[in-house]
Amino acid sequence: MCCVKTLGPRKALTCIEDALVNAYSALKSLGDKAAETVEIKNVPGGHSIKGDVACEKSMIDYFTALKLNADIVSEEHGVRKILGSKSEYTIYMDGIDGTTSFKKGKNSGTMVAIYEGRFPKFNDALASGVLFYSHGIRSEHTMIVSAARGFGAHKSKITAFGRDDDHRIKTSRKKDIEGARISYDSHWPINKVVFPKLFPEFELGCSDASCVDILNVAMGFTDLHGECARGPQKPTLEIPIAYLIVREAGGEIVSYDPSLPSELLGSSLGGVSLREDYNGKVVEFGSQIQYPVLVASTMQIAKEATKRFNELKNKKLK
């Protein structure tokens, strides 16, 4: 494996997909032991499982072998430098997002993204990918969903013979709330309070894996999903890693609370595109702020949801 000094979107995507294939091999080699808990605690302070640690280690080893001048930010291993000098790239990774689902043999995923710069903004994303485990790692539906900046978002199945051809993915492009398919991450207190009040007439979905819910919007299975970009429970890596996939699939990730500090939101208006106006760092470990966002099929449906939030806020949440 040769060293890599510079990356464009296409080359970054190749690295992302190769790293995910390596992670899949590491995970499969563990078999049933992948779901076993290890004594070492991760960065948020929770207990890791063997699969989490193995996936991240395999990806860290892969990028280290490339000698890419980058910082690695991960949930299990924290922040690491590949080279000692000033980093030109930042790599975000999560060994297994949705550990609870993974233990149950349900949907979960391994996530990784490459950004330009040491303290990148969302529009610095070069490429990102999710190794999506549908009903466990032995499922025939395991796939890689990935995107490179300016080249769209795609999915390809993992088979015993390698990878199938890529297929372009797109959001549903739904523009109005009526009849929308909506989900939210209820693990975040603000979402748990707000979403049932925002959409009382809907049957809201909720899973144990943020990457699954976000990919559902990107692939057109749902139209709107409520998340948090960061908060007290853990450093949130899902949004910065999945961001480019949603954008390249035609979707948007927007804030829905106009009262957030300007240094986070970049505007006093709700429904602002993170791509254009998010002024904070992509990930900051230990942040105590809940930064609620909408993952939306279109900006139009995101604005409708934001309008509901503003109306609800004017009545005061009770």
The CATH code of the domain that includes 55 is 3.30.540.10
Q: Are 284 and 300 in contact (CB under 8 A)?
A: no
Question: Could you tell me which of 43, 51, 63 has the C-alpha nearest to residue 108?
Answer: 51
What average pLDDT does range 113-140 have in this prediction?
Answer: 82
Are 75 and 141 in a shared domain? yes
Q: Is the pLDDT of residue 274 over 50?
A: no
pLDDT confidence band for 290 (50 / 70 / 90): low
Q: What is the DSSP letter of 286?
A: T
What average pLDDT does range 7-13 have in this prediction?
Answer: 94
Cα–Cα distance measured from residue 58 to residue 108, given in angstroms and rounded to the nearest whole number:
18
pLDDT value at position 257? 60
Give the predicted TM-score (pTM) of the model.
Answer: 0.86
Phi and psi at residue 200, in whole multiples of 5°? Answer: -65, -20
On whether residue 35 sits in a domain, the answer given is: yes
Question: Could you tell me which of 64, 73, 93, 247 has the C-alpha nearest to residue 170?
Answer: 247
Are 189 and 163 in a shared domain? no
pLDDT value at position 260? 47
On whether residue 176 sits in a domain, the answer given is: no
Last residue of a domain, one of 107, 135, 168: 168
Are 154 and 233 in a shared domain? no
Range of the domain at 201: 182-315
At 204, is the secondary structure helix, strand, or coil? coil
Q: Where are the alpha helices (DSSP H) in 8-140?
A: 9-30, 50-66, 99-103
Are 164 and 25 in a shared domain? yes
pLDDT confidence band for 127 (50 / 70 / 90): very high
pLDDT value at position 106? 80
pLDDT value at position 278? 36
Q: Is the pLDDT of residue 273 over 50?
A: no
CATH, residue 236: 3.40.190.80
Reported as a single tens digit per residue, the pLDDT across 129-170 is 999 887 655 556 789 999 999 999 999 887 655 667 789 999
Which amino acid is residue 41, in one-letter code?
Answer: K
Cα–Cα distance measured from residue 154 to residue 148, given in angstroms and rounded to the nearest whole number:
9
Cα–Cα distance measured from residue 1 to residue 147, given in angstroms and rounded to the nearest whole number:
23
pLDDT > 90: percent of the chain = 36
pLDDT value at position 309? 83
Query: Count of CB atoms within 10 A of residue 46's CB?
Result: 15
How many independent structural domains does the chain possess? 2
Q: Where are the alpha helices (DSSP H) in the chain?
A: 9-30, 50-66, 99-103, 189-198, 210-218, 238-248, 262-265, 274-277, 299-315
Q: Which region among 52-66, 214-228, 258-272, 283-297 has the lowest average model confidence (pLDDT)? A: 258-272
Q: Is the pLDDT of residue 14 over 90?
A: yes
At 122, is the secondary structure helix, strand, or coil? helix
Q: Which region among 86-90, 118-122, 221-225 has the lowest average model confidence (pLDDT)? A: 118-122
On whether residue 174 sits in a domain, the answer given is: no
Are 160 and 277 in a shared domain? no
Structure tokens at 291: 């930064």
Q: Which region among 5-14, 55-64, 84-93, 105-114 has the lowest average model confidence (pLDDT)? A: 84-93
Q: Is the pLDDT of residue 9 over 70?
A: yes
Average of per-residue pLDDT values in the chain = 80
